[in-house]
Structure 1
Amino acid sequence: MARHHEPPAGRRMSARDFRTLYERLRAAAGSAQDPHGRIGALRHLTPERVAAAAAEVRLGHTVSLAAPIQTRAGPDDPEPAEYRVTGPAAGEATAEGLHFALDRFAMNVHGDADSHLDALNHVIFDGGLYGGAPAGDAGAAGPRRLSLDAVHDGIVGRGVLLDVPRARGVPWLEPGDHVTAGDLTAAEAAQGVRVGPGDLLLVRVGHRRRRAELGAWEAASARAGLHPDALSFAAERQVAVLGSDGNNDTAPGAVADVAFPVHVLAVHAMGMHLMDYLSFEELVGACERAGRWSFLCVVAPLRLPGATGSPVNPIAVL
C-alpha cells in the first residue's frame, strides 16, 4: 500500500491562486469553433498540422499506448470491466457447419485502471460544462457538441512523450508527487524535443511501471500526476490533447478544495480532451531506440453517441 501524504508546501496552491489560474486559462481558451468544426483545444490541431505529423513516420513501427483492460477487482479497480464469452453454445464447437465464438463486455469508463479518453462533457464545475454549457447537457440526452461525438472522426497528430522520471533519474514518481511546468521543460531539454502547437502531449509519471513492479494500490487516494501550473505550459504551447500513464491529477491534490484541479483546468477551462491511465513503457523503449521522442499518434475512441468518455487504444507510429 502506498503511503498517503500531503504535497510539499511549495507545491500547494491556494483556492484563490487556483481560481486566478482557472479564469486566465478559461479566458485564453474561449469556446469558439474553428472553420473545420473543432472546438476547444482541438482547434490547434489544424488539417495542416495533421498532414505535417505524417512526416513523423520513418520506421513504420507501431506501438500501443493502452494497458490491457482489467477484469479482476483490485485496490485501484473495485469495479473492473465485465467480460464473458457468450458463444459458441454447448455442442456448437464440435458440430458441423458454421458457428461463431461470441463475447460481451461492459466497463466503468472513468475508473483508475483502464486507459480511457475524457470528453468535454465529463467535467462539471460551478454548475456548468466547458464554454458555459449547462450541466444538464452532460450525458446522452444532451447536445452532442461537447460529447464523445466531437471526436468521432478520431484524433490524429504529432505525439510527444515527455518522460519526467527519466529526466529526474528515477524509475517512477512516487504517489503524491507533482509534475510541474519546470519538470516539463527540463524533460524537453533532456530529450532534445520541443512541444508545439497542435501536439498531443503525453506525460509519463511511471504509474504503470510502479504498478507492474510493486503491485496495485489504492490509486484513487495516492498517485503521481501533474501540478495545476503544468496547464500553463500546455496553454502556452497550444497543446491539443493531454495524456498520462496516471490520472493526470495527483492525489492528494495541490488544491485543498478541488479534488481534480487538472481535470477542471484542462477539460472545463481549456476544452482539452484528456487521456488517463495510458501505458508508455513499450513506447519509451521504442523512442530510445529511434533516438527521438515525437511520432504520429492516432487516437480512435468508440462511437458512443452522447458519451462522456471511451476506452481508448492510442497508437504511436514511429
Structure 2
Amino acid sequence: MLHEPNTICYGVGVKYQKIIAICALTAAVAMPSLSGQSEPPPPRNAEEFDQLFHQVSNWGRWGKDDQLGSVNLVTTAKRKQAMTLVKTGESVSLAHNPMTERAEDNNNPFEHTMLRGNSMDRYAVSYHGYAHSHIDALCHILYKDQTYNGYPRAEVNTEKGCTKLGIDNLKNGVITRGVLVDIPRLKGVDFLEPGTPIYVEDLEAWEKKAGVRISSGDAVLIRTGRWARRAKVGPWAVGQNAAGLHASVAPWFKARGVALVGSDAAEDVTPSRVEGVALPIHTLFITAMGINLLDNQDLEALGAAAARLNRWEFMLTIAPVPVTGGTGFPLNALAVF
C-alpha cells in the first residue's frame, strides 16, 4: 500500500476479528464551531498530532503488562460512589435497536435469521462502523503499528483475534458514574449540524449549566443529537460528516481522569480538522490513553430522562460478552437514576 506524506495509518477491527490497515488523508475543513472559533486549535496536522499523542499517552502508567487502560481508574470506591447515585431506580438503555436495513450510515445491516421451525434464531453483524451500538476494545485501533501500551501489531492482532487487549478483559463489567454532556441542549437546538466540532470550552460550559463536574473514573457520554437529526431528515454518511469531539480535548480528558467515553456517533468530529489524520479522537483515546469507546449510543431517551429529572449523573453499567480476543462487542449499556 502506498502511503501519502503525513498520512496516519491505524488498525480497525472488522468482521471475523480480522484487522486491516487503513490509511486516510483527511483535510481540515473550515467550519464554524460551537465556541465561535474560526480556526481550529492544535493539533492541525500529523506532526502536531504525533506530539499530542505522546503528551497524553498512558503507556506504562499501570505497568508494562497492563491491558485495562483507563478502566483502572474505576476503583472500588468509584463503583460504590456510582451506586449512591441510584435514587428512583429508573433504568434507561443506551442502545439503538439493531438496524436491519442498509442505509447511508449502515453499510452492514444486522442479520436475524429464524431457524428450526422459527423456534431458534441466528444473529450476524459486523458492528464496527457508524450504525450499531457497541464498545471498542483496546486492540481495535493502532498507531504506527502499535496498540495501547506499546504492544507491537504482530504480537497482538492476529487472524484468530487479539492476543492482548481484547474485549474479554472487561468480563467483570464496568460500573461507574456516568455523566451526560448534552451539547444540543446547551445550545438550545435539537441537534448539532454534521461537522460541528466540540471543544474544551463547550464541555466546561455544559458543566456550568448542568451543575456537574467530570472527575476521575467517570464515563462521559457526548450527545450530539445524531439520532434526532436522523429521525427528522433521514440517514446520511455519518462517517464522512458528523458532529463530535475535536482532538484538542484529549489533554482535558486525561487531566480529568475520564475512564470511558461514548457518543451517539463515533466520538470524532468528521472531517477531523487535523490534516492527515482521519480519526484522531479514536487514536488518542484508545491507543494513547487506553480509553474504551462506546460508539453509536442512542442518547435520546437518556437526554429526555436526565432533563425531566434535572440530573445529569447516574450509575452506568457496561457488560459486554467476553469474546476471547474480540475487538469489541455490540452493547446495551444501562443508565440508572
Structure-1-length-normalised TM-score:
0.90
Q: Structure 1 vs Structure 2: percent identity of aligned residues?
A: 35
- Residue 173 (structure 1) aligns with: 192
Provide Cα deviations, 1:172-193, integer angstroms capped at 9, x if missing partner.
1111111111111111111111
- Residue 74 (structure 2) aligns with: 45
CA distance in 1, matches of 2:92, 2:74: 22
1:108 lines up with 2:126 in the alignment = yes
Number of corresponding residues? 300
1:138 lines up with 2:138 in the alignment = no
Whether the 8 Å contact between 2:139 and 2:162 is mirrored in structure 1 is: no
1:224 lines up with 2:243 in the alignment = yes
> Is 106-115 or 57-66 further displaced after alignment?
106-115
Instruction: Provide runs of 4+ in structure 1 moved above 4 Å.
Output: none
Provide Cα deviations, 1:136-168, integer angstroms capped at 9, x if missing partner.
212564664411011111111000001011111
1:182 lines up with 2:201 in the alignment = yes
Counterparts in 2 of 1:63-82, with a 5 A limit? 63-82=92-111
- Choose from 312, 325, 331 the match for 1:293: 312
SS in structure 2 at match of 1:203: strand
- Residue 31 (structure 1) aligns with: 60
- Residue 125 (structure 1) aligns with: 143
- Residue 163 (structure 1) aligns with: 182
- What is the root-mean-square deviation in Å for CA atoms of aligned residues? 1.8
- Choose from 317, 321, 328 the match for 1:302: 321
- Choose from 234, 243, 251 the match for 2:270: 251
CA distance in 2, matches of 1:52, 1:279: 25
Counterparts in 2 of 1:199-278, with a 5 A limit? 199-278=218-297
- Residue 97 (structure 1) aligns with: none
Residue type of the partner of 2:213? Answer: R
1:6 lines up with 2:25 in the alignment = no
Question: Relative to structure 1, is the Cα distance of residues 313 and 142 closer, same or farther in structure 2, using a 3 angstrom cutoff?
Answer: closer
Residue type of the partner of 1:243? Answer: G
- Residue 16 (structure 1) aligns with: 47
Larger radius of gyration: 1
Whether the 8 Å contact between 1:157 and 1:298 is mirrored in structure 2 is: yes
Residue type of the partner of 2:76? Answer: P
Whether the 8 Å contact between 1:31 and 1:40 is mirrored in structure 2 is: no
Whether the 8 Å contact between 1:244 and 1:276 is mirrored in structure 2 is: yes
User: Per-residue deviation at 1:308?
Assistant: 0.4
CA distance in 1, matches of 2:62, 2:168: 15
> Any unmatched runs of 5+ in structure 2?
1-26, 32-37
CA distance in 2, matches of 1:178, 1:221: 13
Whether the 8 Å contact between 1:140 and 1:305 is mirrored in structure 2 is: no
- Choose from 79, 91, 99 the match for 1:62: 91
CA distance in 1, matches of 2:172, 2:48: 37
> Any unmatched runs of 5+ in structure 1?
90-100
- Residue 150 (structure 1) aligns with: 169
- Residue 114 (structure 2) aligns with: 85
